[in-house]
Structure 1
């Protein structure tokens, strides 16, 4: 069985000012770096040794992984980038304000297409296809492509780790991508929303199946924060 520690990257400039990051990228802020240092120290304090590391190929996840490995005494382990576990692409809305996209454009599209949703969070499929329809750059992915690459990416990572005999692996990905993956892996579970930067979602993989544990766990960061406060 492979134990998976799935981390949302540290807080970035765009996260801080409420912009949709997607495939665009900004670096971690000083506070974002601090949060991931706390996470790494929390892993170290709990004695967690990783056999392999994976992240998307976005700068913010690579930067996050560097802080995790350095502060948890896990440097030097095999580390692979996988572009399939990138964030959703918002196309021409990448870099735009979250409110403009999620509170302005998308509700209008739902109304125009007859997809009326009173829920605070419509299904991912509806959101993805709406973004695809209004993206003037032609970069956004329809739901079938988006969901396929996310599920394939995480599944292949888990299978590779299992084949290599890994017991514990760490993956750094993105908020919406992690939420989508959890829902795809276990459709009966609620779709996670609002995952904190530096949070950990626990999973295991065995016999081709994912099991979801605690989602959005902040305990490692809390342990690391306490550790720093004592210095």
Structure 2
């Protein structure tokens, strides 16, 4: 059987990413820079010659917009099955959705835990801290959050495996991808920063994920070089 692999890309840079706002379940479109970044990614993936059998994104507009550009650049739009899965959405920040990152991560969360730097917190602590300060009741507990993310990515992998294996291109979100990586290997998220348009590759076999690459920007870099050469 062919190996089952998910190529999980973080969506392109958005207005809120640029403004330093926590996006969560709220949404803003890609900026011109963001569109260029995922265009580079699509070109790089095509150059790599990877055969993709399925495409899946979260149901957030920024992920859908990113996937559209990637599929266009790979020449796969309308040629492979594409669906949305709300389980691979970003974390919900509740009443802090749309708030400045600085207010939440450098202000509120450190105060909740009485620490000087939110980066000392585990993902579980961050999730529970957000639930504690959320006034809407929308933020998810770590148990609920990690369960829906794990189930979302597992469903994609199981579907692909059942069809004989192969590769899926997946577009998701920074903290969601980080959570998946953590659930596979907690040590792999230490000092981790996932750039927009980076690719994390996981392999799935007999109910278990294995990490192959984390936050890989090489596809974007190849695509950027091809775009530059084309404009000379």
Please give the alpha-carbon distance, in whole angstroms, between the structure 1 residues aligned to 2:96 and 2:219.
33
Q: TM-score, normalised by structure 2?
A: 0.94
1:109 aligns with 2:109: no
- The answer to whether structure 1 residue 199 and structure 2 residue 198 are counterparts is yes
Q: CA RMSD in A?
A: 1.4
Task: Report the Cα offset of residue 110 of structure 1.
Answer: 0.7
Give the direction of change, closer, same or farther, for the CA distance of 1:33–1:118 in structure 2 (3 Å limit).
closer
Q: Does the 8 A contact of 1:179 with 1:191 survive in 2? A: no
Distance in 1 (CA, whole Å) between partners of 2:189 and 2:41 is 25
- Is 1:80 paired with 2:79? no
- Does structure 1 retain, via aligned residues, the 8 Å contact 2:57–2:83? yes
Counterpart in the other structure of 1:56: 58
How far residue 192 of structure 1 moved from its aligned partner, in angstroms, is 6.0
1:218 aligns with 2:217: yes
**Alpha-carbon shift at residue 119 of structure 1 (Å):** 7.0
How far 1:117 sits from its partner (Å)?
7.5
Match of 1:94 among 80, 94, 97: 97
Residue 71 of structure 2 corresponds to 69
**CA distances 1:135-182 after superposition (whole Å, capped 9, x unpaired):** 001110011100110111111111011112241111100000100110
Task: Write the mapping of 1:134-213 to structure 2, written as runs, cut at 5 A.
Answer: 134-191=133-190, 193-213=192-212
Instruction: Provide the residue aligned with 1:37 in structure 2.
Output: 39
Cα gap change, 1:38 to 1:222, in 2 (>3 Å): same
- Determine helix, strand or coil for the equivalent of 1:216: strand
Give the drift of 1:120: 2.5
CA 1:61–1:213: 2 relative to 1, 3 Å: same
TM-score (ref. length: structure 1): 0.94
> Does the alignment pair 1:132 with 2:135?
no
Maintained 8 Å contact 1:183/1:191: no
5+ residue gaps, structure 2: none
Question: Quick check: 97-106 or 155-164, which moved more?
Answer: 155-164
Structure 2 CA distance for partners of 1:118 and 1:135, relative to 1, 3 Å: closer
Q: Which runs of 5+ in 1 are unaligned?
A: none
Q: Kindly provide the CA deviation profile for residues 184-220 of structure 1, in whole angstroms up to 9, marking residues without a partner as x.
A: 0223433463200000001111111111012000000
- The runs of 4+ residues in structure 1 deviating greater than 4 Å are 116-119
Q: What SS does the corresponding residue of 2:200 show, helix, strand or coil?
A: strand
Q: What secondary structure sits across from 1:214 in the alignment?
A: strand
Is the CA contact (8 Å cut-off) linking 2:178 and 2:189 kept in structure 1?
no
